[in-house]
Amino acid sequence: MTKIEAVIQNSKLEAVKTALQEIGVEGMTVIEVRGHGRQKGHTEVYRGREYSVDLIPKTKIEMVLPDALVEKAEQAILNAARTGKIGDGKIFRSRIDEAIRIRNDERGEGAL
């Protein structure tokens, strides 16, 4: 089993979600996050005072997939989330040792 974490632009969530559903991804967790990579933040001005905002709102999608689906899922995210500009985000892949369905104690890929 493999976990994919994708940090994407907020505006790309719908496109990425649809692309993943189309290739058969059945579950995901979506989190509103703030962060920064190489993209520098922006400046906001309130009544003449400047505030630099360096943690930018992003959307993080987490999903644990059967290994067979991983490549296709990553490609789907790349296609759907890419604008070609700085700030498009990143994808992280990691191994998962175990998955357990709380309802019936089912284990392994069957629990996904």
Partner 1 sequence: MLNAAAAAQGENHSVSIGRKLITVLVTLVLVLIVAQSVSAQTSSSSIADTNARLAKLEQQAIDAKSSADNAWMLTSAALVLMMTGPGLALFYGGLVRKKNVLGTMMQSLALMAVVTVLWALFSYSLAFGAGNSFIGGLQNIFLRGVGAAPDVDYAATIPAQTFMVYQLMFAVITPALIAGAFAERMKFSAMLVFTILWSIIVYDPMAHMVWGKGGLLNASLGGRFPTLDFAGGTVVHVTSGVSALVCALYLGKRLGYPKESMPPHSVVLSCIGACLLWVGWFGFNAGSALGSGSLATSAFVATHFAAASATIGWAGAEWIRNGKPSVLGGISGAVAGLVAITPAAGFVKPMPALLIGLIAGVFCYLMVARVKAKLGYDDSLDAFGVHGAGGTLGAILTGVFAVSAVNPIFKDSQGNTLPSGLFEGNAHQLLNQCVGVLIAWGIAVVGTLVILKLVDVTIGLRVSEEEEVQGLDLSQHGEEGYYWEASA
* Interface ranges with partner 1 (CB under 8 A): 44-49, 51-52
> Closest distance between partner 1 and the C-beta of residue 43, in Å?
9
Task: Write the DSSP assignment of 20-40 as a string of letters.
Answer: HHHTT----EEEEEEE-SSS-
Q: Which is nearer to partner 1, 43 or 79 (CB)?
A: 43
Q: Which is nearer to partner 1, 45 or 86 (CB)?
A: 45
**Exposed/middle/buried for residue 23 (C-beta within 10 Å: 0-12, 13-18, 19+):** exposed
> Closest distance between partner 1 and the C-beta of residue 14, in Å?
24
> Closest distance between partner 1 and the C-beta of residue 7, in Å?
23
Distance in angstroms (rounded) separating the CA atoms of residues 64 and 112: 7
67 Cβ contact list (under 8 Å, min separation 6): 1, 2
> Closest distance between partner 1 and the C-beta of residue 50, in Å?
9
Q: Which is nearer to partner 1, 56 or 70 (CB)?
A: 56
Q: Which is nearer to partner 1, 50 or 105 (CB)?
A: 50
Q: Which residues pair with 44 in a beta bridge?
A: 51
